């Protein structure tokens, strides 16, 4: 026959309450940890990069273009991490007096689904000028290129106020799937050109398009794609 004194009963009850408290705290901690892990997983997935790119000024391509006085060329180092499951789009947009120039885009190169898993090489675009005919744009990448696409020479103005430059630096940056990135800018104006625009700021970019007479924008986007 079991006998419990009042003191034993109080002690057992206190022990059970204390144990319950620790179990509740432990379960709460576990649920919090799982929640944080899921949040970190989502954050990591949202920050996942599909490609890496950097400007490549004074490359052999660019120097040859300049030596032959062909026009202006922008060259980049490009690494595609999942080349067999990716689709790359490179294009040039044109604006005149703040309005989009047709056709839009002026030139475009789309390619991808390589047999290799990773591909690394150069890509870029060149603007070829001619005094007696329309200017042309060519776009190239490893294993793919466009033929020179003619653009109306009237888009360009006869002005010494011309500026061009890279919109990204020589430091490598990552591209997320579906992210659109401005790579380079070519500008003309009838008056003095402002030089303090932030090319990666959408408000500054819109302001530049409206303030300059003519603007060309070189852009890139890499998307996930398993088949054509």
Question: Is 73 found in the same domain as 1?
Answer: no
**How far, in Å, are 49, 76, 171 from residue 181 at the CA level?**
13, 13, 15
Same domain, residue pair 5 and 96: no
The answer to whether residues 19 and 80 belong to one domain is: no
**H or E stretch covering 186:** strand 180-188
- Its domain, for residue 10, covers 1-47
**What's the pLDDT score for residue 17?**
57
Residues 43 and 132 in one domain: no
pLDDT digits (tens, 9 = 90+) for 166-191: 999 999 999 999 999 999 999 999 87
- What's residue 68's pLDDT? 92
pLDDT at 24: 61
Same domain, 127 and 36: no
pTM: 0.79
Say if residue 194 is in the same domain as residue 103. yes
Q: Do residues 194 and 83 touch, judged by C-beta distance below 8 A?
A: no
pLDDT of residue 31: 52
Q: 61 and 105 share a domain?
A: yes
Tens of pLDDT, residues 16-32: 555 555 556 555 555 55
Same domain? 118 vs 220:
yes
94: number of Cβ within 10 Å = 23
Q: Compute and round to an integer the Cα radius of gyration of the chain.
A: 29
């Amino acid at each position: 026959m079991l006998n419990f004194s009042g003191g034993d009963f109080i002690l057992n009850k206190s022990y059970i309450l204390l144990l319950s408290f620790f179990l509740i705290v432990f379960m709460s901690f576990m649920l919090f940890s799982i929640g944080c892990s899921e949040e970190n997983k989502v954050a990591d997935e949202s920050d996942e990069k599909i490609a890496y790119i950097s400007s490549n000024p004074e490359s052999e391509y660019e120097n040859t273009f300049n030596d032959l006085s062909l026009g202006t060329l922008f060259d980049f180092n490009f690494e595609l991490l999942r080349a067999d499951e990716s689709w790359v789009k490179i294009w040039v947009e044109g604006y005149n007096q703040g309005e989009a120039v047709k056709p839009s885009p002026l030139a475009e190169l789309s390619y991808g689904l390589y047999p290799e898993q990773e591909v690394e090489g150069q890509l870029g675009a060149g603007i070829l000028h001619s005094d007696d005919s329309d200017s042309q744009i060519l776009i190239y990448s490893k294993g793919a290129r466009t033929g020179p696409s003619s653009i109306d020479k009237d888009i360009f103005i006869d002005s010494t106020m011309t500026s061009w430059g890279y919109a990204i630096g020589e430091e490598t940056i990552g591209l997320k799937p579906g992210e659109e990135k401005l790579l380079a800018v070519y500008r003309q104006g009838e008056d003095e050109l402002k030089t303090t625009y932030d090319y990666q700021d959408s408000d500054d970019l819109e302001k530049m398009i409206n303030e300059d007479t003519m603007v060309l924008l070189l852009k890139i986007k890499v998307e996930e794609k398993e088949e054509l």
